[in-house]
Amino acid sequence: MANLEGRYCHDILLSLMINGRQKKTSLLRDISKSSSMSKRADELEKEGLIRIIPDNFDKNSKWVELTEKGRTVAEFILEINKTLQN
């Protein structure tokens, strides 16, 4: 089971849910400059929450998107955040 307590995991999932598919470098850079960001993305992919896809035109670029499982988890996180704000 994924350790979503890892720093930035929630941020990655929520950004993908709100903004949709994104370039991996842009997504991670927009959330944090931390060197652990790529590791977090790899962990989320290993757990089946996100999919990292090579760019068809630029072999150095990758796209990141939510899986159905990831979308479900992101929706729960959003709901919890809304509840805590009330």
Buried (b) or exposed (e) across 38-64, using 16+ Cβ within 10 A? eebbebbeebebbeeeeeeeeeeeeeb
| Residue 74 in domain | yes
pLDDT in tens, 4-25: 666 789 999 999 999 999 999 9
**Predicted local confidence at residue 34, as pLDDT:** 85
Strands 22-23 and 62-66: antiparallel
Residue 20 lies in a domain: yes
pLDDT per residue over 30-86, tens digit each?
Answer: 999 888 888 899 999 999 999 999 999 999 999 999 999 999 999 999 999 889 898
Q: Is the pLDDT reported for residue 3 higher than 70?
A: no
Is residue 1 in a domain? Answer: no
Residue 37 resides in a domain: yes
Alpha helical stretches, state H, the chain:
9-19, 24-31, 37-46, 68-85
- Within a domain: residue 61? yes
16 burial via Cβ count (<10 Å: 0-12, 13-18, 19+): buried
Q: Which residues span the domain enclosing 28?
A: 9-85
Number of domains in the chain: 1
Whether residue 3 is contained in a domain is answered as no
What residue has token string 């072999």? 59
DSSP 64: E
For residue 40, give the CATH number of its domain: 1.10.10.10
At residue 7, the pLDDT reads 74
Q: Is residue 26 part of a domain?
A: yes
Inside any domain, residue 2 = no
